Amino acid sequence: MNTKSDPSFKDKVIYHGQRIDLVLRTSPGNTGRRIVREVVRHPGAVIILPILPDGTIIMIQNLRHTVSERLWELPAGTLEADEDPGACAARELEEETGYRAAEILPFGWFYTSPGILTEKMYAFVAAGLEPGRQALEENENITVAPVNPAQALAMVQRNEIVDGKTIAVLLKYLTRTKRTGRRAERSVPARKK
């Protein structure tokens, strides 16, 4: 819901950060009484599923300081102000993996945690990959790891991949591949005309 177009929602910023704002959102409850909720406003983000011609998925192992663990993930990143999600996906792919893509194809979007967070995550499939050098930010500790599709699915099932956005995009992609019977590199979404 866009609070800018709904006058019944009122936001009061109680913390303004570099990437997020914490707001107290006042809205009408189902009894007519006003309810106050804590909401994290987020500019949105992208997640990229990089696929090599043989179907191998380029994953990363990312040291996440928030949970003090190294997590298996797909490359992802936060949108800059007014940044196009496709441009952000190309930038983040190259920064985190070193790969450049001939094609960055839209693969849907979802809310990551709509009970508390406004983050809208745009998913992309990257194809026509050319290897290069990572360009990590100072706070990033990322290792690139190619994984075949069967191995990725097994890692989800064994709870080795615990990053929600990665699980969502991998399963969407892998179930589409299985359902259609197409090989992984053939199941890249068709380009919109």
What's the angle, vertex CA 181, arms to CA 179 and CA 187, rounded to 5? Answer: 85
Half-sphere exposure of 18 (CA within 13 A, CB side): 1
Q: Which two tokens stand for residue 132?
A: 């290069």
pLDDT computed for residue 178 by the predictor: 64
Amino acid at 152: A
Residues with active-site annotation: 138
pLDDT computed for residue 5 by the predictor: 53
- Give the domains, in start order, of the chain with CATH numbers: 10-41 (no CATH), 45-182 (3.90.79.10)
Give me the residues of the chain with pLDDT under 70, please: 1-5, 177-193
Half-sphere exposure of 42 (CA within 13 A, CB side): 19
